[in-house]
A = this chain, B = another copy of it.
Amino acid sequence: MDMMTAPAPAKRPRGRPRKTAEEASDGNRRDELIRSAARLFRRRGFEATRTRDIAEAVGMRSGSPFYHFETKQALLFAVMEEGMKRAVARQQQALDAVAGQPPLAQLRQLIRQHFEVLLGPGNDFIPVMLYESRAITPRQRATLARLQGDYEALWLPVLAALHQAGRLHGELKLARLLIFGALNWSVQWYDRRKGASLDALADAALALFTGSSE
């Protein structure tokens, strides 16, 4: 497929083209915007972040991000959707790697990978999704809810197995919500520079929830 001779986009609304996620021919600039936006949204919050700052962070002029995204909010949503898709894929892979192992080991893997997505270097996408969902539309929220459902589905069999085996106590649905809370809140207090390792975190969480010390 020769991309140089590809026909121009069918319609150029008001003479200003705008890339969609699909036609990511030179999507590197778009990706740079998403990455920079994620970092700033996480650090300062969505409302307090100026699109000018995002532009400057990637060496663009103030109006140029709107060549790639219709609105600031669309950029926020792109961060969230992109982050969630990656998180599901990564978690799926991590879980595949421990298939066949006992539920306790699988839960440990899920927790470890979850901390990675939340606290690992450069992983700003999911924290933004967790803490800025107020700023997106109900329609966008619904799209994310579907991805979040996929993510949760990876945990459910493992949690159910542990619950049935008596290693996880309390009503299962509430236990799940409380567990995610315990993990997600780490975004608020974890300090990569001086805190415990993500492995130590995972150990502590597993111990707390299941009484296990392995």
Interface residues of chain A, those whose CB is within 8 Å of chain B, are 44-48, 130-131, 134-135, 168-171, 174-175, 177-186, 188-189, 196, 200-201, 203-213
- Give the residues in chain B near A213, CB-CB below 8 Å: 169-170
Q: Closest residue of chain B to A183, judged by CB?
A: B181
Give 3 closest A-B pairs by Cβ, nearest first. A181-B185, A47-B47, A170-B207
A-B contact pairs, 26 of them (CB 8 A): A45-B134, A46-B47, A47-B47, A47-B48, A48-B135, A131-B131, A168-B208, A169-B208, A169-B210, A169-B213, A170-B208, A171-B196, A171-B203, A174-B200, A174-B201, A174-B204, A175-B207, A175-B208, A178-B186, A179-B208, A181-B183, A181-B185, A181-B186, A182-B185, A184-B185, A185-B185
